[in-house]
Chain A
């Protein structure tokens, strides 16, 4: 798991805002994030922390007239080696990139599948659009892709409609669709959240295998820390629109340096541990309080109202992302005392 040298995705200072009835809210507030070729980076955090808005910003799929990129750049290196700032491309240029250089998989497979077309038609569509492939050869390629994502009896399945497939098989089909044009970057937003654990295990295994075979970069959005440990090289933990900690997964999970990451890891019930906790009459370590509303953010460190390490200085200003070491950063002024 060597860190690759040059990132294919390089996000700097990304700020994404929404116009709402209550005024403008900043959903993503100055994010720096890179994904290297062949690297899987997980974006993790609670509901509303800005994970999906980050990935939608990269794909430029924010709701028009409501959401917009207010600052920052999103440099992306496409297959031809060109690096461009996605933040300023027009829709025409973005359309060439989406589905060709960047593949996308979402939580709900039905949202990316059209109920009135067969699975085979939908997987071959990106090949016809981006590669000018003829109908017949595109369909053959689609069948091969279905085989690669582990769908048995692929030829017959290609002729079926989405509702004739199980949830797990539909998610495999959307993965096949995302991979049709051999993208360099795959963006997967909670691709296994709606699935049962035994099916989730199948899909994670598939994504790991495909990523290795193809050397893609993957931006993987999830709220499940277990899934992160399973699939990612690096992790960025988000809280209220900011990255509060990032680094290699093993390093961050073994040695968390932000109180929020520490709290998240502790509050997650872990197999085998509960029996011991119960016997010792101990409780799960919950994080007190609730996530602040974006319209009403606390001053200084956004985590301070819930943080057991908080001191007066935490309210003075938003903490900087400080280096724990060359590859590990924490946005906490007391990171040296956290996790000691």
Chain B
């Protein structure tokens, strides 16, 4: 992991109590993000991606663990201190339809955050909104219009513009392109990568689509049932996945290439319930490589190549 991380998460845990049962949504989540780095968070539905993203920004309170942002411990900040730190980190939502108020003009939506923070005069705020619209390639006259007048891809651009008005250093983008059609998805992915490089943004990019993540991220974290299975630089992860879950996940993605080999490895069974997770390695009930020992203790993340970590006891797989 990097020497001076911009974001540093250690032993993050989150549990909820539901009908008398304790659900360990997240356990032992540790990772770093360097300044200007884009880290992907992938996993299937319910694996805890959103909960991690929101915990890092303290939009939900972690049950345990530490989150450091540019050297400051966030989990113990007072709400006043937190309010001052907020503009430096922003969240982009998955659903471009639900996250924009239908009663506000785009101008009002874009300047709201600045207004709450008491930043600038009215004029200056409108100027910033105009600049943000330009950054996401929307026409300046959008400022007077309403969200329903825009297509899905345009609304997602508005969501991105809203996050940019506050000139954040860190973005959590939660499935920002999942609701979009492929042809539009590519436009928004290109835009996000462009902005990230131009503005030197640090980003946690959440997605269940491994191909999108490969394109946009420097490093990738693979999550299963609230536990990290593998962390690796993108190029390494896709070329040499080490964890049996990552391998299965990659092989499950249908390829449009008619010449691609169709030797899909199909995992049996369902994702276990959080109310009753397997002992030891949480993946073992579906793992094609599970041994008896896998039911023992939960495997820790171990380095298997430079910067490449996996939580699996087996070293003999290849």
Contact = CB atoms under 8 A, between A and B. Distances in A.
Interface of A: 46-47, 166, 168-169, 196-202, 204-205, 223-230, 249-250, 253-254, 263-265, 267-272, 274-275, 277-278, 283-288, 290-291
B181 interface: yes
Given A196-B44, A198-B248, A223-B182, A288 B256 contact: no
B214 A271 contact: yes
B273 to A, nearest CB: 9
Interface stretch (B1-9, B13-21, B263-271): B263-271
List of 4 A-B pairs having minimum Cβ-Cβ separation, nearest first = A226-B254, A286-B186, A274-B215, A267-B186
A198 B187 contact: no
B259 A226 contact: no
A227 B254 CA distance: 6
Given A229-B257, A269-B212, A283-B190, A46 B270 contact: no
Interface in B207-259: 208-212, 214-216, 234-235, 238-239, 248-259
B214 A201 contact: no
Interface in B265-287: 266-268, 270-271, 286
Contacts of B303: none
A46 B151 CA distance: 13
A257 B314 CA distance: 48
Contacts of B250: 271
B262 interface: yes
A226 B256 contact: yes
A197 B256 contact: no
Contacts of B44: 196-198
B189 interface: yes
Interface residues of B, number: 49
Contacts, number: 138
Contacts of B216: 274
Contact of B183 (A46, A196, A229, A230): A46
B256 A228 contact: yes
A253 B255 CA distance: 11
B105 interface: no
17 contacts: A46-B181, A46-B182, A47-B181, A199-B270, A229-B260, A265-B256, A267-B185, A268-B186, A269-B214, A274-B215, A274-B238, A275-B234, A275-B239, A277-B215, A286-B186, A286-B190, A287-B183
A148 B149 CA distance: 48
Chain B contact residues, majority secondary structure? helix
Contacts of A284: 186, 189-190, 215
A284 to B, nearest CB: 4
B185 to A, nearest CB: 7
Contact of A271 (B187, B210, B266): B210
A196 B42 CA distance: 12
A198 B224 CA distance: 12
B258 A249 contact: yes
B208 A197 contact: yes
A202 B252 CA distance: 9
Contacts of A202: 266-268
A291 B152 CA distance: 11
Nearest to B214: A274
Contacts of A229: 254-258, 260
A268 B185 CA distance: 8
Contacts of A227: 254
B153 A196 contact: no
B50 interface: no
A278 B252 contact: no
A287 B255 contact: no
B254 A230 contact: yes
B139 to A, nearest CB: 13
B184 interface: yes
B211 A286 contact: no
- The residue in B153, B181, B248 that gathers the most chain A C-beta atoms within 10 A of its C-beta is B181
**Of A250, A275, A291, most B-chain CB atoms within 10 Å:** A275
Contacts of A285: 186
A229 B240 CA distance: 25
B117 interface: no
A288 B187 contact: yes
Nearest to A286: B186
B266 A205 contact: yes
A153 B286 CA distance: 17
B154 interface: yes
